């Protein structure tokens, strides 16, 4: 009788370990008006190169990261980015800024297309996560650079917060996308003010 119970207990243990939650994969979204735009952007207007976009090592991973205080983070193995978070941030900025500036002349650097750009946007993302208080935080240092002289024309450190429903991972990613849209608007306004 004892001999039968041990293998069954072992089988139950193995079965319990084998079933784990399914992973969910997320991507960032551009501004709603950029996503809904029907017309094609034409060449003209300002030309902008985006890059590099950098992230801290703790964010540059496939898993989504949440902040649990000033010195503690949570890495969720089952909530993952659909690709590289750094590339997704850069691509979303590119799409947002093309829409906001009304130009198709926005490229990721380095680019296959040899396009002389008037400005280069460099972004150093410092924080990009959902926090335990029900808000996401995007904190970034960014600069607009004159590529011909390698001189910063504008430099800023910006912080954006957006509320989200704590129990909803989709809402967290949507709030992160909205914060990135806020950064895009700030950059676009700074470009419009440049000579």
Most confident by average pLDDT, 40-54, 57-71, 81-95: 81-95
Average pLDDT over every residue of 50-77: 89
HEC letters along 46-62: CCEEEEEEECCCCCCCC
Banded model confidence at residue 189, pLDDT cuts 50, 70, 90: very high
**Degrees to nearest 5, angle at CA 110 with 109 and 114:** 95
With a CB cutoff of 8 Å and minimum separation 6, the contacts of 189 are none
- pLDDT of res. 6: 47
Neighbours of 47 (CB within 10 A): 18
* C-alpha to C-alpha distance for 156 and 167, rounded to whole angstroms: 33
* C-alpha to C-alpha distance for 194 and 154, rounded to whole angstroms: 8
Work out whether strand 119-131 and strand 63-67 pair parallel, antiparallel, or are unpaired: parallel
- pLDDT of res. 38: 65
Average pLDDT over every residue of 71-83: 89
- pLDDT of res. 1: 47
* C-alpha to C-alpha distance for 60 and 151, rounded to whole angstroms: 28
Structural domains of the chain sorted by starting position, each given as residue range(s) with its CATH number in brackets = 48-193 (3.40.50.10610)
* C-alpha to C-alpha distance for 13 and 126, rounded to whole angstroms: 42
- pLDDT of res. 11: 46
Look up the pTM and report it.
0.86
pLDDT of 114-167, one tens digit each? 778 999 999 999 999 998 889 999 999 999 999 988 899 999 999 999 999 988
Instruction: Report whether pLDDT(2) > 60.
Output: no
Indicate the average pLDDT of the chain: 87
- pLDDT of res. 29: 96
Instruction: Report whether pLDDT(69) > 60.
Output: yes
């Amino acid at each position: 009788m004892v001999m039968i119970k041990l293998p069954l207990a072992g089988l139950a243990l193995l079965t319990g370990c084998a079933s784990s939650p399914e992973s969910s994969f997320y991507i960032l979204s551009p501004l709603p008006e950029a996503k809904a735009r029907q017309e094609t952007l034409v060449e003209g207007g300002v030309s902008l190169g985006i890059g590099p976009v950098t992230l801290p090592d703790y964010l540059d991973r496939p898993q989504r990261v949440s902040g649990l205080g000033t010195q503690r983070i949570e890495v969720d193995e089952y909530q993952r980015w659909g690709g590289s978070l750094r590339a997704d941030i850069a691509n979303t900025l590119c799409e947002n800024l093309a829409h906001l500036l009304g130009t198709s002349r926005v490229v990721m650097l380095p680019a296959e297309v040899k396009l002389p750009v008037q400005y280069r946007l460099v972004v150093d993302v410092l924080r990009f996560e959902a926090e335990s208080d029900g808000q996401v935080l995007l904190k970034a240092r960014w600069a607009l650079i004159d590529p011909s002289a390698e001189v910063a024309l504008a430099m800023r450190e910006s912080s954006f917060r957006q509320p989200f429903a704590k129990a909803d991972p989709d809402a967290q990613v949507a709030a992160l996308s909205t914060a990135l849209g806020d950064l895009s608007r700030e950059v676009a306004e700074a470009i419009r003010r440049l000579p």
